[in-house]
Copies of this chain bind each other. A is one copy, B any other.
Amino acid sequence: MTNSKSGNKTSVIRVEHFNAAHRLENPNWDDQKNREVFGKCNNPNYHGHNYDLEVKVTGFVDPQTGFVMDIKELSDIINSQVLDRFDHRNLNLDVVEFEHLNPTAENIAYVIYCLLRERISEAVELKIKLYETPRNFVEYPA
């Protein structure tokens, strides 16, 4: 029995976590409009979340290892590209990618995708699932 390139692709998913502060704001709007649109998430002193991050890599299984990708290597890349920049940080103040980008869950997922794409081979597909809370989460690309 073999499970190789003649067959279907397989996905491997690694889950990581980070804790961060943020606030939502559109700098082109006045305070009243920002409060109307973003509500409690617009608090100028910030609030925060435990973000759960699922990174999915899809490709063919290497018959030598039985892996799509070594999940330990995937974890290391997520740690150096994402967690070292985001964990225990203020996304608005400490992370350069959000200097001009509102740190909504949608935009954070997009930034994580871009940061990981720099280090993960184009031979595999990449998807991001980001939980802002257990009841609110996003996927990029859809």
Contact of A142 among B58, B70, B136 (CB under 8 A): B58
Interface of A, helix, strand, loop or mixed by DSSP? mixed
List, in ascending order, chain B residues with CB within 8 A of A20's CB. 47-48
**Closest Cβ neighbor of A56 among chain B residues:** B139
Contact of A12 among B12, B56, B106 (CB under 8 A): B106
Beta-carbon contact of B12 and A105 below 8 Å = yes
Beta-carbon contact of A48 and B45 below 8 Å = no
Contact of A110 among B3, B67, B101, B125 (CB under 8 A): B3
Q: In this assembly, does A24 line the interface, its C-beta being within 8 Å of a C-beta of chain B?
A: yes
Q: Output the least CB separation between A125 and chain B (Å).
A: 8
User: Using an 8 Å CB-CB cutoff, how does the interface string of A52-72 with B read, 1 for contact, 0 for none?
Assistant: 000010100100111110111
Closest 5 A-B residue pairs measured CB to CB? A48-B48, A8-B141, A66-B104, A40-B88, A45-B90
